[in-house]
Amino acid sequence: MSIIVFGSINIDLVATAPRLPVAGETLLGENFLKVPGGKGANQAVALAKLGVPTQMVGRVGAHSFGAELVQNLQDAGVETGNIFTDETVSSGVAIITVAHNGDNQIIVIPGANGQVDEEDVERLSRILAGAKALLLQLEIPINAVVAAAQAAKNANIKVILDPAPAPANLPAELYPLIDIITPNEVEAGQLVGFPVDGEAAAVKAAGVLLQRGVKSAIVKLGARGVVCATEKEVFFVPAFTVEAVDTVAAGDAFNGGLAAGLYTGLSLHQAVVWGAAAGALAATKLGAQTSLPDRFTFDAFLKERCR
Ligand code: ADP
């Protein structure tokens, strides 16, 4: 049994410079970094690093970073046999400039991620029978997300949707196909149409999402914790207190930890604690995939904090 992640695979090209260039300007920068990302790939790596058998389904571009992105997933322990290499487009790329004062400029080219379609859903469907859960996000076309959720529902496989990046709205038919939806405050606000800032609003938003048909709604409140609501119960899980240095990929770590907990057979409440632990650990380290905890670190943290 494995967990399948169907979603985006990106490369981030990061340049640092004293300031951001103005239009038409060429500026001397300082450092260049090339880091693998994409919410789909991040969540797959989060799971694999926690020791869960994980398969990634998605697309990379043949001529720009494709082989390297697949290799990176393999190195993390992710099964990549169902990643399609597209000859016609680039891989998903984010071109990022970061200035000394922290300002940034980002251009995202969806590339191969934007080409994900029913053929990929077909490949996904062929391996669903052996899966424990399907993880989805919103960095591939929404039609493919809906079709994948439908295929999982038909195969009786649990669907966990991270509605990120924040969508303007989601097709109404998607909600009843979702077992667990995991927005942060901004994403929850976008989905429900009122601001979500803090626990009370998160409980209200979770209620709206349940009404639309999801089985469980988990609203991530950053350093404060998470609100979780199902038909039967509503509970709050506080965040672990850590020295946060960079919360990039904390949300992806959370979803990896949550799914790993469910994979292990934990209750929803305990699995949410696992998500919070993975998110907190990711916040203590710089970077995206590099900040995701391995199993050893994760177990040691839980042992120390959950006595
Ligand atoms: P996203 O990255 O999607 O915006 P959050 O920032 O809410 O999501 O982070 C996801 C989860 O990671 C949080 O719900 C929390 O459990 C954990 N987390 C994030 N930031 C911190 C932090 N500074 N301290 C402790 N836990 C954190």
Per-residue pLDDT tens over the stretch 174-216? 999 999 999 999 999 999 999 999 999 999 999 999 999 999 9
- Which amino acid belongs to residue 124? L
- Which amino acid belongs to residue 256? G
Alpha carbons 82 and 91: distance in angstroms, whole number: 16
Cα 231 to averaged position of ligand 1 atoms, centre (Å): 24
Our answer on whether the CB atom of 99 is closer than 6 Å to any ligand 1 atom is no
Q: Is the pTM above the cut of 0.85?
A: yes
Alpha carbons 83 and 86: distance in angstroms, whole number: 9
- Which amino acid belongs to residue 187? E
Our answer on whether the CB atom of 242 is closer than 6 Å to any ligand 1 atom is yes
Return the best residue to mutate from 235, 254, 255, 291 for the ligand 1 pocket (most ligand atoms within 8 A of CB): 254
Catalytic-residue membership of 299: no
Selecting among 197, 252, 294, 299, the annotated active-site residue is 252
Alpha carbons 276 and 163: distance in angstroms, whole number: 18
Cα 250 to averaged position of ligand 1 atoms, centre (Å): 5
Alpha carbons 39 and 25: distance in angstroms, whole number: 32
Our answer on whether the CB atom of 113 is closer than 6 Å to any ligand 1 atom is no
The per-residue pLDDT for range 4-39, each reduced to its tens digit, is 999 999 999 999 999 999 999 999 999 999 999 999
Low-confidence ranges of the chain (pLDDT < 70): none
Give Dmax (Cα) for the chain.
Answer: 58
Our answer on whether the CB atom of 247 is closer than 6 Å to any ligand 1 atom is yes
Our answer on whether the CB atom of 43 is closer than 6 Å to any ligand 1 atom is no
Our answer on whether the CB atom of 140 is closer than 6 Å to any ligand 1 atom is no
Return the best residue to mutate from 220, 258, 306 for the ligand 1 pocket (most ligand atoms within 8 A of CB): 220
List own/partner pairs for 260-263 with CB under 8 A and 24 or more apart. 260/3, 260/46, 260/47, 260/50, 260/51, 260/52, 262/132, 262/133, 262/158, 263/1, 263/3, 263/52, 263/132, 263/133
Q: Which domains occur in the chain, in start order?
A: 2-9+37-91+113-305 (3.40.1190.20)
